[in-house]
Amino acid sequence: MTPLTSKVCVVGDFAVGKTSVVERFVTNHFSEEYLSTVGVKIDTKEIDFPTLGMTHKLVIWDVAGTEEFGAREMAYLRGASGYIYVADGTRAATLKAIERLHKQILEAYGAAPGVLLVNKRDLEPDWEVSDERFDAIATRFGNAYRTSAKTGDDVDQAITRLAELIIDNDMRGG
Amino acid sequence: MDLPPKVVSYLQDEFLEEARPFCFLIDGDYRLVDSWGQSDWCGLSGIRPAVDMREPAPFLVGMPISAVQKFEFIEMPGRAIVTMHVIPDNGQCYVVLLDARREHASIQSKQQSVNELRLMHGRQHKLIARQRDLISELVEAKSELDHHRREAERISANKSRFIAMMSHEFRTPLASIINYAELAGESGTSSNEIQKSIETISRSAMHLTSLVEAVLDDASLDAGQVELLEHDFEIVGLLNDMAAMMAPMAAEKGLSFAAYADPDVPKTVYADEVRLRQILINLLGNAVKFTVEGGVKLTATYNDGRLVVTVSDTGPGISIEDQERVFQAFERGRGRAETGAGLGLTITLRLVELMRGEVSLDSMPGEGCTVSVHIPVMAAEEGSTSSVPVLPLPGEETIAAMPLSVLICDDDEDMVTLVEHYLHRSGYGLITSSDSSEAIAKTLKFDPDLVLMDCNVPGVGGVVAARVLREQGYSKPIVALTASKLSDEQKSAFTRFFRKPASMQKLLTEIKRLTH
Ligand SMILES: Nc1nc2c(ncn2[C@@H]2O[C@H](COP(=O)(O)OP(=O)(O)OP(=O)(O)O)[C@@H](O)[C@H]2O)c(=O)[nH]1
Ligand SMILES: [Mg+2]
């Protein structure tokens, strides 16, 4: 049986931790050093779903951070089955960026499964996102997590959830 | 015009060397049909025809191959960085990968610095905001401290003002007591005058007692816990008292004094008499004190539910600045313990405010001073109760039914004389003693119908004496009359307990009840 393979795109403002989240998910590593992504970085990872008797292979497109997509980024997103939205909990403005990006995606490619990661949860004293704000945006995205690429908190859970949502979506779509 | 072939060929070589193009052709199922160029740099060497190219080149997953597309800067899992061109051709599709490492690196370093700068800016903003918060917190904390300091200063100023105020208030009735006592003691004073002196003295003493109560009230004045003690009283009586108190003081200084009540003034009003008395004593006391020549006048009028009492004098008057100072000091609830004209006014303002009234002041330096106090009062119905006489005359209820004897034990001679006086008038036989041990002996010997015992007396003391008497079988009432405070346990030695200064009326009534 060929495993299900899906393209997912990681989007969000610059330096929110997109590359770090993917690295944590794929290799279980974390680096404090910031190396800004130019263009897009491809990674793959297989997730086993023993209960479903299947493996889901994700081809992850870690897109360069931006608060608004240009033509180059829009091209990257074509054909994606799901989206990982990442914001930085210590910079409230990055949540605004998420809303804008989400809207652009919706307009260009229609609705698709997505999860929201409000990242850098380990930086508690610097946190700028109130519980109310988080709850409000979580309701809109349906699936939202406070994650930390540094400690690994909820990173696997969030991405695995997206893999499930895509399976769901595929099955429903036929 | 085309470029010369030589140049085209040069550029071609240059480009091919730089971009190292690798091209492959796939069918509609992404299966490899053919390939050209170098593939090692992009990690695609060793691919065989018919293989699903999405396996070695996962970025093809999900990519539609029906339109010309260009993807810049794709970093592949093997770290190669490519720019990918997708060129569909008859159901098949050419995919061209160009090495974009160099351009990528130059963009990356620029983007890196831009992003780091933006992050730094953000952090700075946050720091500045936090500093601003800290500063405003500090400012707030400081203003709170300032407030506390000012409050402490205000309280301390209030305290000294209060003390000054009280000594001032106490002095006037005390002066009256001293003056009248002297008058009464002088030889050649008629018995009528003596009677009047005593009445004035006792009224002043009553006023002093009220003042003591007012002191307690005043302590809670800032806390707003003061209540008015309103009752019916006769205005004319109050004015007469004032005249009796002030006229001699005025006369002593060679001043005239006149008190006058308008016919419209109700006979009896419902108001706080003690406070009104305080107000008048303050105003009149000041007027007499500061007037050197001429006189002081007190008038009362009634207008629209408001009693207006006016005190005018021919004294030095108060300058506009001093007037402002007085009113301001009052409004701010602070101010030094001013000496002179201001003090009595400040007190008056406080009291009048308490009575929901107003004060108006009309004065010019050198032209005397007129202070009017407007206080809302209710005119009481005709015939309602008026004030109780200070010195009780023996009434029906205080005259002993049959000859009874009382033993008084007190080392204060004046007290003994006073009690003796009243008890005598009420028909009691008296046995006196100034020593508690002696009192025990006398009690056991004469078996009086009641023992009136001071507690702080020579000998074994009142409390012990009472206990001894009980042990010795004396079973009639023992009443304590003392200035000291007694514990409940000590009180239990007595039938009843009176605290000095006690109302003679009450004491007599109780003695009569107990000996009945
Ligand atoms: N403390 C902490 N730092 C994190 C976390 N995630 C990322 N970082 C740090 O944040 C910085 C940016 O992380 P990246 O993962 O490079 O961010 P990015 O979103 O990929 O940035 P761009 O590629 O420029 O869009 C790096 O210094 C990371 O070490 C986290 O969960 N906690
Ligand atoms: Mg990145």
pLDDT attached to residue B342: 43
Domain with CATH 3.30.450.20 in chain B: 15-99
DSSP state of A125: G
B231-379 belongs to which homologous superfamily? Histidine kinase-like ATPase, C-terminal domain (3.30.565.10)
| Residue with CA nearest ligand 1 atom 13 | A17
Strand partners, A8: A60, A82
pLDDT tens-place string over residues A4-58: 999 999 999 999 999 999 999 999 999 999 999 999 999 999 999 998 889 999 9
Give yes or no for residue B393 having a pLDDT over 60. Answer: no
pLDDT attached to residue B72: 94
For B155, other C-beta atoms within 10 Å of its C-beta total 12
Contact B61 A79 (CB under 8 A): yes
ipTM of the assembly? 0.94
pLDDT attached to residue B58: 94
Domain with CATH 1.10.287 in chain B: 131-220
pLDDT attached to residue B74: 96
pLDDT attached to residue B57: 94
pLDDT tens-place string over residues B46-73: 899 999 999 999 999 999 999 999 999 9
**Helix-strand-coil percent breakdown of chain B, rounded to 5?**
50, 20, 30
Contact B71 A42 (CB under 8 A): no
Q: What are phi and psi of B454, to 5 degrees?
A: -80, 150
Q: Please give the distance, rounded to the nearest whole angstrom, from the Cα atom of residue B455 to the centre of ligand 2.
A: 94
Give yes or no for residue B337 having a pLDDT over 70. Answer: no
Pick one of 3.40.50.300, 3.80.10.10, 3.30.450.20, 3.40.640.10 as the CATH number of B15-99: 3.30.450.20
Buried b (16+ CB within 10 A) or exposed e, B329-363: bbeeebbebbeebbbbbbbbbbbbebbebebeeeb
Q: How far apart are CA B15 and CA B338, in angstroms?
A: 100
pLDDT attached to residue A174: 44
Distance from CA of B120 to the nearest CA of A (A): 12
pLDDT attached to residue B166: 65
Q: Which of A119-123, B239-243, B408-412, B428-432 has the largest mean confidence?
A: A119-123
For residue B245, give the 3-state DSSP assignment.
helix
Would an 8 Å CB–CB cutoff place B63 in contact with chain A?
yes
pLDDT tens-place string over residues B112-121: 999 999 999 9
Strand partners, B60: none
Confidence band, pLDDT 50/70/90 cuts, at residue B391: very low
Q: Which residues contact A4 (CB under 8 A, 6 or more apart)?
A: A54, A55, A56, A57, A167, A170
pLDDT attached to residue B467: 92
Note the pTM of the prediction, 2 decimals. Answer: 0.54
> Which is it for strands A114-119 and A144-146: parallel, antiparallel or unpaired?
parallel
pLDDT tens-place string over residues B194-249: 887 788 788 778 777 766 665 655 555 554 555 678 888 888 888 888 888 788 77
The domain B404-515 having CATH identifier 3.40.50.2300: the answer here is: yes
- Residues lining ligand 1, Cβ inside 6 A: A 12, 14-20, 31-34, 36-37, 64-65, 119-120, 122-123, 148-150; B 115
Domain with CATH 3.30.565.10 in chain B: 231-379
pLDDT tens-place string over residues B354-377: 888 888 888 888 888 888 999 988
- Of residues A148, A173, A172, A143, the one with CA closest to residue A160: A143
Would an 8 Å CB–CB cutoff place A71 in contact with chain B?
no
Which residue bears the tokens 């004294």? B315
Token output for A136: 């409000």
Give yes or no for residue B515 having a pLDDT over 60. Answer: yes
pLDDT tens-place string over residues B75-105: 998 889 999 999 999 999 999 999 999 999 9
Largest CA distance in chain A: 49
Summarize the confidence of residues A124-132 as an average pLDDT. Answer: 91
Please identify among residues 342-361 of chain B the ones whose CB lies closer than 8 Å to any CB of chain A: none
**Stretch among A59-73, A99-113, B39-53, B289-303 having the lowest mean pLDDT:** B289-303
Summarize the confidence of residues B303-325 as an average pLDDT. Answer: 84
pLDDT attached to residue B347: 65
pLDDT attached to residue B205: 82
Q: How far apart are CA A65 and CA B488, in angstroms?
A: 84
Summarize the confidence of residues B468-483 as an average pLDDT. Answer: 90
CATH level 2 (architecture), domain B131-220: Orthogonal Bundle (1.10)
Q: How far is CA B361 from CA B250, B283, B307, B332, in A?
A: 22, 11, 16, 19
Q: Please give the distance, rounded to the nearest whole angstrom, from the Cα atom of residue A15 to the centre of ligand 1.
A: 5
Domain with CATH 3.40.50.2300 in chain B: 404-515
pLDDT attached to residue B67: 92
**Which residue blocks in B356-430 are alpha helix, DSSP H?**
413-425
Structural domains in chain A, sorted by start: 2-171 (3.40.50.300)
Give yes or no for residue B107 having a pLDDT over 90. Answer: yes
Q: How far is CA B175 from CA B95, B107, B214, in A?
A: 119, 100, 19
Distance from CA of B354 to the nearest CA of A (A): 51
